[in-house]
Structure 1
Amino acid sequence: METVSMIDVASYLPGDPVGTDYFARHARSDRMAQNIMFRAPTHRHHVAAGESAVDMAEHALTPLIDRHGTAAIEGIDVLITHTQLPDLPVLGCGADLARRTGMRPQCILDLHNGGCAAFVYMIDLARILLSTNGSARTALIVTVQNTAGQIFTQSDVRPLAQAAVPGDGCGVGLLCKSDRAPILGVECRHYPQYAGDMTAAIAPPRKYWEPGTGQLHISFTESKITTVFARGNRLVPEVALSVCEHIGVESTDIDTFVTNQPNRLFLRNWRDALELTPDRHPDTFDDCGNLFGAAIPVTLDTENRAGRIPDGSLVLLAGFAHAGDFAAAAAIRWGAAPDTDNQRRWHVHAG
């Protein structure tokens, strides 16, 4: 396989931060609210009324256009998107995003699985597509989380303990055939036996697309939470350590470990499992909440813009999805520090 690099990352958070009081004044008093899985972040962002997934993706793309030029984005060969809540029930946002930005990709994929680990999954798919297609040189991966301000703010859902945890945001990554910031290794693991364990509920019961009075929300029980928590504690370290073994490093060699951000306890347990200090495991949970699939690129971009990921750093991305039906990790030798813009432009245009 030809060497493929992730040479840039950018993100977008919609609107002003929303405080926990937005939910607290409507919260019910129940046992579920005491569960650590639902301990609320300090802030989160909500997609605005009428703001589409494509709108969010365009905002996230703006820094890439500023750094690499319009032509580099218009010339993207492979476009892969993941949208948590598609604006249309039968269509992802890839084709419309390409239309709005003037792209003419050879390949557009709307990825509907991968969940909180979708960004890593898209890295792997983009790497494979670029490596096996002689004419394709660049790929753009886009993950949109837009359920917090649409599903979790519904009048019947807002009082639930789960409602205060998610936030909305979008993250994008730019990849190309290059050795500038090589993807050193990726591992994706599917666990189909767990696929039926994530469910949605509406009261009174109906199919989500049928007319009715109940509002859609994720179905949680205490036993299900316990099961998912045990899986998540195991799956992320397993896949992360497997990538470390594959590329011949110890977990303690990782300079920056970026994961999805479901809650504080997962973050602590994953960090401890890899024997990393807090400064090497960025935490955006209190600022952004659980961003689902957008958490990894948003957190990565936040750290990079802050100058905390020098070029040459070993970056490991990892996460798990849904109730544990997927987990993935990717190792990257970082080469997109903010002071290397000119070099990044050269690699996008020259390959």
Structure 2
Amino acid sequence: MESVSLIDVAGYLPENIVPADYFTQYADPDDVTSNVMFKAPKFRHHVAPGETPADMAERAVAPILERQGREVLRDIDILIVHTQLPEIAFVGNGGEVAARLGIAPEWLIDLHNGGCAAFVHAMKLARQIMMSSDAKSALIVTIQNVAGQIFTQEDVRSKPQAAIPGDGAGAGLLVKSSVSPILDIETRHLPEFAGQMTAISDPPRRYWEAGPGQLHVGFTESKIAKVLARGNRIVPEVAHTVCKRIGVRSDELDLLVTNQPNRAFLRNWRDALMLPQERHPDTFDECGNLFGAGIPVTFDRAVDEGRVPAGSVVMFAGFAHAGDFAAATAVRWGGR
């Protein structure tokens, strides 16, 4: 059976670079915490006013088109778009992204779950479709756009959680070939935790209801402790599962690329996989938590820096939300 390859990846970061001092000036002394979940990065990028998910998607895909040629768009059979904050009600932003790129793929999927591991989730969906149909190429786009819109609200920017996210987008091009093959993918849904990442306001209301109070993520000390424990466990588990199936020990991986939630997770994951820091790219201090865009943006940067020679076995791994989903995939990178 013909392989499916990830042949190119690109990232986009908005121009607006925001230092940690922006949030310090608004910090509520009653909300100050020493929890490792809220150790702020030095910088993050925020979307510009009026910048849409389609804008971000187009800018993330642009470097791929520069390298591969715009004619690759004619062959896109599958478009999978994950938007952290969809701006088109009910249907999501996938159709708008397709229109912006000038394509009408047979498979157009708005992937609303997957969170910080959405890029790997989309890779699995695209690979499965390609292996069971005539589809020959797929474009994956993951968009993180909540930092400059949700976390800068007047009543939210004072909270410790506000300084963690950054905005950005990532894109990946998959084709049927053996140039840069996907070796294996493991995904795990843990639905019992699916309702534990909640959007709340004060006074309480449903997110779509009109009323006072600005929406933010609902955290409690108990919830944070559970998320930390789950995240520390499930990301190494899915990565080790992939390693076992492809016959490569975790310490033999050439590169580990994870989502970038905080420094504690990054340290614990590479320790669990017995990898040195230089084999685990870290964009947290420059970009913050990029959610679903973190994996492609971080890998794109590592490739640009010459850290991923052709033939490298690269593990992408991450988890989502409060731990309701985890995914890992290994790719033998073919180079650009």
The two structures have a TM-score, normalised by structure 2, of 0.98
CA deviations 1:10-69 (Å, max 9, x no partner) are 010012311001100000124652111001000000011100000000001111111111
Counterpart CA distance in 2 for 1:30 and 1:240 is: 39
Which residue number in structure 2 is paired with residue 344 of structure 1? none
What residue number does 1:332 align with? 331
Secondary structure of the 1:166 match is coil
Whole-Å separation in 1 of the counterparts to 2:234 and 2:314: 19
Whole-angstrom distance in 1 between the partners of 2:110 and 2:194: 20
Q: Hey, what does 1:240 align to over in structure 2?
A: 239
Q: Does 1:52 align with 2:52?
A: yes
The answer for the alignment partner of 2:95 in structure 1 is: 95
Alignment correspondent of 1:69: 69
Partner-residue secondary structure (3-state), 1:117: helix
Give the whole-Å Cα distance in 1 for the aligned partners of 2:57 and 2:232: 31
Residue equivalent to 2:138: 139
Q: 1:211, 1:116 → 2: CA distance?
A: 28
2:176 — aligned with what? 177
Q: Secondary structure at the match of 1:310?
A: coil
**Which residues of structure 2 form unaligned runs of 5+?**
none
Counterpart CA distance in 1 for 2:99 and 2:193 is: 37
Do residues 216 (structure 1) and 215 (structure 2) align? yes
Q: Which residue of 1 aligns with 2:190?
A: 191
1:157 aligned residue: 156
The match for 1:349 is none
1:311 aligned partner: 310
Q: CA deviation at 1:104?
A: 2.1
1:197 is paired with a residue whose SS is: coil
Return the alpha-carbon distance in structure 1 between the equivalents of residues 335 and 292 of structure 2: 21
Deviations along 1:107-152, one digit per CA (max 9) or x if unpaired, are 1000000000000000100100111112x11000000000000000
SS of residue matched to 1:300: helix
Q: Say how many residue pairs are matched.
A: 336
Q: Is the 8 A contact 2:31 2:159 kept in 1?
A: no
Q: Is the 8 A contact 2:117 2:325 kept in 1?
A: yes
Q: Secondary structure at the match of 2:241?
A: helix
Q: What is the CA deviation profile of residues 241-300 of structure 1, one whole-angstrom value per residue up to 9, with x for unaligned ones?
A: 000001111001100100000000000000000000000000000000000000000000
In the alignment, which residue of structure 2 is the partner of 1:348? none
Contact 2:120–2:316 (Cα < 8 Å) also in 1: yes
**Letter of the structure 2 residue corresponding to residue 226 of structure 1:** A
**AA in 2 matched with 1:22:** Y
Secondary structure of 1:17's match? strand
The alpha-carbon distance between structure 1 residues 101 and 221, as it changes in their structure 2 partners (threshold 3 A), is same
Q: Flag structure 1 segments of 5+ consecutive residues without an equivalent.
A: 338-351
Query: How big is each residue's C-alpha offset from its partner over 1:62-112, in whole Å with a ceiling of 9 and x where there is no partner?
Result: 111111111112331100010000011212221111111111211100000
- Residue of structure 2 equivalent to 1:343: none
CA distance in 1: counterparts of 2:311 and 2:92, whole angstroms: 35
User: CA contact under 8 A between 1:74 and 1:104: conserved in structure 2?
Assistant: no
Provide the rounded CA distance (Å) in 1 between the counterparts of 2:272 and 2:145: 31
TM-score by length of 1: 0.94
How far apart, in 2, do the equivalents of 1:29 and 1:234 lie?
32
Provide the residue aligned with 1:292 in structure 2. 291
The answer on whether the counterparts of 2:317 and 2:329 sit within 8 Å (CA) in structure 1 is yes
Say if 2:44 and 2:166, in contact at 8 Å, map to a contact too. yes
Residue aligning to 2:40: 40
For the Cα contact (< 8 Å) 2:115–2:291, is it kept in 1? yes
Q: Do the aligned residues in 2 keep the contact of 1:316 with 1:332 (CA within 8 Å)?
A: yes
Corresponding residue for residue 206 of structure 1: 205
Deviant stretches of 4+, over 4 Å: none
Corresponding residue for residue 274 of structure 1: 273
Q: Which residue of 1 aligns with 2:110?
A: 110
SS class of match (2:194): helix
Post-superposition Cα deviations, 1:143-163, rounded to whole Å, max 9, x if no partner, equal 000000000000000000000
Distance 1:168 1:123 in 2: 21
